């Protein structure tokens, strides 16, 4: 039998405060699976996690809920110049760490060519963003519950559609993303390498961008190329670097230093290093088990490194509630609303 959950387990798994869970229980109790008696306590079934997420997404921003945050969640895009440097693994494991720290987190798989977050997380999503455009499915149906309660949204062909679509479709999609942003603590966006058409929207919309590089000289050159392209397109918001697959702290510091000084000198852009991840064979073992590293081997070196990166990002968050939507701001930036009126 699957593990039963206490209210505090449920709070960790959903990122919702216990008081809010109690409120949803009293308002929408009939939708939740029946609780189970064990010993002298009542426990939630694991299915309650997905149901509560759904309730929160549908009703959380309505007037009925007592204290959901009024602002928007952070949108953090993970990118790189070169492929295969560890974006997808970092995106998923960061979201897990955020969730463990009590922030309701989503991973949006915006890599059309090699969408693999669901494989790394060991889940089988039913819908993709593309289905959302075509069919009458709700936003909450788009979100597949993943490990530790992280929500996973497969981008699928919808990501490309975003690049090629009409102003109306683009607006519909960005509107959906805005709505997710409203009901989420942190959204981590995994992208394909570089700045292809389908990726551009997400990198430019994000509040913050993490660029992963390795000591490989081509990774550095390609990362610089990406940053230059983003700069020309009106990049805003902070850019962070993460050095992956490194053999030593000294080596990581040298790579980060070189990258930051190139960005400062030639692009007039500040790139802050927020950490490094050691080369660690636990990644391969975790992938083979279709389990995220931070669940499979939470005490491994790389898992600890990722925990530190998550900690830096959480500490660096602005105080107070974010009142602007990343996707709405982006919609304005590319002037979709005006285009649509034509």
Binding site for ligand ATP (CB under 6 A): 80, 83-89, 111, 114, 193, 244-245, 277, 279-280, 283-284, 287, 302
If the CB atoms of residues 271 and 286 are measured against ligand ATP, the closer one turns out to be 286
Please identify, using beta-carbon distances, which residue of 87 and 118 lies nearer to Mg ion.
87
Nearest to ligand ATP of 4, 163 (CB atom): 163
Phi, psi of 328, deg, nearest 5 = -70, -40
Q: Taking the chain, what is the end-to-end CA distance rounded to the nearest angstrom?
A: 58
Residue 29: CB partners within 8 Å, gap ≥ 6? none
Q: Least separation, in Å, of the C-beta of 146 and ligand ATP?
A: 15
Round to whole Å and give the CA distance between 215 and 217.
6
171 vs 279, which CB is nearer to ligand ATP?
Answer: 279
- Structure tokens that stand for 280 in this block: 């660690």
DSSP 263-315: HHHHH---EEEEEEEE--THHHHHHHTT--HHHH-TTSHHHHHHHHHHHHHHH
Question: Within its chain, how far is the Cα of 337 from the centroid?
Answer: 26
Selection from Mg ion, ligand ATP, none that 302 binds (CB < 5 to 8 A by kind) is ligand ATP
Question: What does 83 bind: ligand ATP, Mg ion, none (CB cut-off 5 to 8 Å by kind)?
Answer: ligand ATP
88 is a contact residue toward Mg ion (CB under 5 A)? yes
The binder of 21, among Mg ion, ligand ATP, none, by C-beta within 5 to 8 A per type, is none
| Residue of this chain nearest to ligand ATP (CB atom) | 83
* Three-state secondary structure call for residue 76: strand
Q: In what order do the strands lie in the sheet with 186-191?
A: 144-145, 151-154, 105-110, 186-191, 74-79, 208-213, 239-246, 271-278
Measured from the CB of residue 284, what is the shortest distance to ligand ATP in angstroms?
5
Nearest approach, Cβ of residue 294 and ligand ATP (Å): 12
Of 176 and 293, which CB lies nearer to ligand ATP in the complex structure?
Answer: 293
Query: Which one, 112 or 263, has the nearer CB to ligand ATP?
Result: 112
Give residues in contact with Mg ion (CB under 5 A): 87-88
């Amino acid at each position: 039998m699957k593990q039963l959950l206490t209210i505090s387990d449920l709070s960790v798994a959903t990122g919702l405060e216990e008081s809010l869970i109690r409120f949803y229980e009293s308002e929408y109790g009939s939708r939740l699976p029946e609780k189970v008696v064990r010993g002298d306590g009542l426990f939630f079934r694991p299915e309650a996690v997905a149901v509560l997420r759904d309730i929160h997404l549908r009703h959380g921003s309505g007037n009925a809920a007592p204290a959901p945050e009024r602002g928007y969640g952070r949108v953090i895009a993970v990118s790189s110049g070169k492929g295969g440097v560890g974006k997808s693994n970092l995106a998923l494991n960061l979201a897990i760490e955020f969730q463990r720290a009590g922030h309701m987190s989503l991973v949006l798989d915006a890599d059309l060519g090699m969408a693999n977050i669901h494989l790394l997380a060991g889940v089988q999503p039913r819908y993709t963003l593309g289905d959302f455009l075509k069919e009458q499915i709700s936003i909450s149906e788009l979100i597949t519950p993943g490990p530790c309660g992280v929500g996973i949204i497969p981008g699928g062909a919808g990501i490309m559609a975003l690049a090629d679509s009409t102003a109306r479709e683009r607006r519909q999609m960005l509107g959906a993303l805005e709505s997710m942003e409203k009901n989420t603590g942190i959204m981590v966006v995994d992208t394909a390498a570089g700045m292809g058409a389908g990726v551009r929207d997400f990198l430019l919309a994000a509040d913050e961008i993490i660029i992963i590089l390795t000591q490989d000289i081509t990774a550095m050159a390609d990362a610089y190329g990406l940053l230059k392209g983003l700069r020309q397109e009106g990049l805003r918001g902070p850019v962070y670097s993460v050095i992956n697959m490194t053999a030593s702290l000294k080596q990581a510091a040298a790579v980060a230093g070189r990258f930051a000084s190139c960005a400062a000198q030639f692009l007039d852009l500040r790139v802050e290093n927020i950490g490094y991840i050691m080369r660690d064979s636990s990644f391969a073992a975790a992938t083979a088990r279709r389990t995220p590293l931070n669940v499979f081997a939470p005490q491994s070196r790389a898992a600890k490194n990722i925990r530190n990166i998550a900690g830096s990002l959480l500490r660096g968050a602005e105080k107070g509630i974010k009142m602007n939507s990343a996707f709405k701001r982006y919609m304005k930036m590319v002037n979709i609303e005006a285009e649509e009126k034509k």
